[in-house]
Chain A
Amino acid sequence: MSLSSSTKTKRRIQALLLLALIAFGVVIAGCGGDDEAGGNSGGGDKGKVQLVAYSTPQTAYEDALEPDFNKTAEGDGVEFSNSFGASGDQSRAVEAGQPAGYVNFALETDVTRLVDAGLVSKDWQNNKYKGIVTNSVVAIVTRPGNPEGVKSFQDIIDKNLEVVTPNPFTSGGARWNIMAVYGAALHDGKTPAEALGTVKDLLANAPVQPASARDALQAFVGGAGDVLLSYENEAIAAQNANQDVDYVIPDSTILIEQPAAVTVDAPQSATDFLNYLWSDAGQKIWAEQGYRPVNKSLVDKSIYPTPPDEFTIAEFGGWDKVADEFFDDKTGSIAKVEQELGVSTEK
């Protein structure tokens, strides 16, 4: 009430306010932006490669490709920062401002998103391999020894097995699975409508549709389902991590094409890295890590047999068309399938 005590009061409050504001200011000023694992040490003159990729190739990049690249002339002294996550999430993050120099996703549409945002050049596919850095195929992952004797997608339906496949609306990887089943059915002589019916039968046998491909693998390894639909390279990664799984490549399946690109603002070292990944040395390491080289001459048929009926997404018009026609969440044919399944089971 006296002047001096209200001044004291004011001062104390101001001190507290100041403290709070300082703390807040520290936050906003981006205190943690680049503190550790810095590209600020001596070898940073080549530019740091900010790698943003989907989740599977984490071990491939961190344990093999990056160290090997560092041994080359172009790669000597190049530093990396690595970010891995679900392909769609990562792509969206880059679009929303995550710094990236080199990107590698599971689905072409994830790169297209960045092209549309002006972050990747429109001519990212103007090269020998059309922007694809690795291949894989959709495989059927089974329990050790393939106890059910599954050889094709149709087998899963015929034997009434429980299949684990990611939710096609939360997982880009799931879309490869669906198109593989669809395409295989088409090539089996079914009409498009019948082929969709096959997809529906398969999904009806899916008690669990995890959010991402890696979650699906974990669910399967954890005991869910009888078989899992996944990438061949996921299955190999699991085996390399001593997980008890086997896998079968159906005769009729889709070739998974995993795109990579550099961003418009990327340092030269990012482009060097991409070129390295396309070089024989890089492709050989990819092969060791479970991925099929895009350089066909380097594909060891004993490890990576070519399925007799290997088709690509181009057959269906490319991902832009397929994303609309099949996976639009309101008008897409798969959305309708899921709805039919849901409605029928609700009764």
Chain B
Amino acid sequence: MSGERGLTRYGLRFVALFYLAALLLLPIGVALVKTFDDGIGEVIDQITEPDAIHALKMSLLTVIIAVPLNTIFGIAAAHVIVRSDMRFKWLIGAVIDMPFAVSPVVIGLSLILVYGTGGWFGADLAAQGIQVIFSTPGIVIAVIFVSLPFVAREVIPVMQEIGTDQETAAETLGASAWQTFYKITLPAIRWGVTYGIVLTTARALGEFGAVTVVSGNISGETQTLPLYVSKQFETFNSVGAYSASLVLAILALGTLLFMNLLRRRED
């Protein structure tokens, strides 16, 4: 019996690792090798270029705005969907899923149709002198759009899983809705929220397609890090491109690490 289990276990492990190696680990390895093609000094030079640093700041700015907003929204939405008896809440779930279903090319187009010169708000914005598209606000909106669903999606199943017993008990004991939420619900969905934040951050960092369209690509002004990566490839600066990608990867992994540390500290 244990021999059989052992065989199955090794078999599964092998298949999983082989697949991951071929699809994920090797490409990442290739990227790493190409990053350090000219040595670590060159990498540092590349990532300290003024345009690169500005792109980094730009990416961080969008993350700092998009992630908290989407987190608050995600928790609220999950709560509404799972715990309330609101009509049409299935519609909310459907709309939350929409960003997954929209191609980046389409997102860019849609934002231009709304905020661009000929768009729905175009004339009003121009009259106020506000530049949404081809400027930072447009980028932030695009990033919020694409990274919107993650927290909600992670929290919903967790909320469903944990059931309402504790919350009902709390209410029976006289806790207010807010107290129940803050002291019972929130801690219970912690793990879902955490992962949701990690995914939201990663997605917000890596968004390329939609931002390409709405950013205006002004070097040193409206370029996020993925845009900068693309620019560097285009001008044959592959080390620069891979170095910037490395920064993105570190940021994403760093978020994960940070979240893991938080969890471990609480446990």
Contacts and interface: CB of A to CB of B under 8 A. Distances in A.
Asked if A and B form a direct contact in the complex, defined as CB atoms under 8 angstroms apart, the reply is yes
Interface of A: 1, 5-6, 8-9, 12-13, 16, 20, 23-24, 26-37, 50, 55, 58-59, 62, 81-85, 89-90, 93, 95-99, 117, 214, 218, 238, 241-243
B110 interface: no
A97 B234 contact: no
Contacts of A8: 178
B72 A30 contact: no
A241 B235 contact: yes
Contacts of A20: 69, 72
B219 A33 contact: no
Interface of B: 54, 58, 61, 65, 68-69, 72, 112, 115-119, 122, 126, 130-137, 139-141, 174, 176-179, 212-213, 216-222, 231, 233-236
Interface centre among B72, B116, B141, B234 (most CB of A within 10 A): B234
A83 B218 contact: yes
A228 B188 CA distance: 59
Contacts of B131: 30, 33, 97, 99
A23 B117 contact: no
A37 B221 contact: yes
A89 B131 CA distance: 18
A33 B131 CA distance: 7
Given A81-B221, A82-B219, A218-B234, A32 B122 contact: no
Contact of A26 (B65, B177, B216): B65
Contacts of B135: 30, 32-33
B68 A23 contact: yes
Contacts of A95: 117-118
B65 to A, nearest CB: 6
A23 B65 contact: yes
A6 B176 CA distance: 8
Contact of A30 (B116, B137, B212): B137
5 contacts: A20-B69, A31-B137, A32-B137, A96-B112, A98-B216
A55 B236 CA distance: 12
A84 B174 contact: no
A26 B144 CA distance: 14
Contacts of A59: 235
Nearest to B223: A83
B136 A16 contact: no
B38 to A, nearest CB: 12
B126 A83 contact: no
Contact of B234 (A5, A55, A98): A55
Given A30-B132, A85-B212, 10 more contacts: A9-B177, A23-B65, A26-B65, A28-B130, A29-B137, A32-B137, A97-B116, A97-B126, A97-B133, A218-B234
A116 to B, nearest CB: 12
Contacts of B174: 1
B140 A27 contact: yes
A35 B222 CA distance: 10
Given A82-B218, A83-B216, A84-B217, A97 B117 contact: yes
